[in-house]
Amino acid sequence: MTSQADTGATVISTADQLRQLVTRGFRFVHPTDDDGEIAAVVGVRVHNGVIDVVKLHDENDVHAMRMPGDETDVLAPRRVLWQTSGYVGTVLGAMLALPDDHAVPSRKGENSGCWVPVRPGAAKWLATVG
């Protein structure tokens, strides 16, 4: 998969965008359904008092959001600071364009990570990077 603006901008592959997210500290998990099939690819990054999440269901069904670091459910947050959805290249590009220094004051101090469900009845702790 590749993404390209209508202006003839440089084509950036989805793989390259995902590599850039990993370089920035995103950790990816692959939640499964009851039958063991991958339900989505979910990337999470905890930094500067916020949590960034990218959920890829297919190339035309991608969701990205930034939420406060004290959010307890990263897949269904109560509060969202920024979000977008749509085509993979557009959504990943928008996430990569967000500033890293955005911080939300936390009542309990900096988060050290968050729990992400990986299959029914199981979750994985994703620790803060950096």
pLDDT at 103: 53
Q: Supply φ then ψ for residue 7, to 5 degrees.
A: -85, 0
Q: pLDDT tens digits for 20-65?
A: 999 999 999 988 888 989 999 999 999 988 999 999 999 999 999 9
Give the length of the chain: 130
pTM of the model: 0.73
3-state class (DSSP) for residue 41:
strand
pLDDT at 64: 97
Question: Could you tell me the CA-to-CA distances from 60 to 47, 48, 73, 74, 86 in Å, in that order?
Answer: 27, 30, 24, 21, 6
Enclosing domain of residue 116:
2-127
pLDDT at 114: 66
Confidence band of 121 (pLDDT split at 50, 70, 90): low
pLDDT at 48: 87
What's the total number of domains in the chain? 1
Q: What does the alpha-carbon distance between residue 5 and residue 11 come to, in Å, rounded to a whole number?
A: 8
User: Could you give the angle at which helices 14-23 and 88-97 cross, rounded to 10 degrees?
Assistant: 30
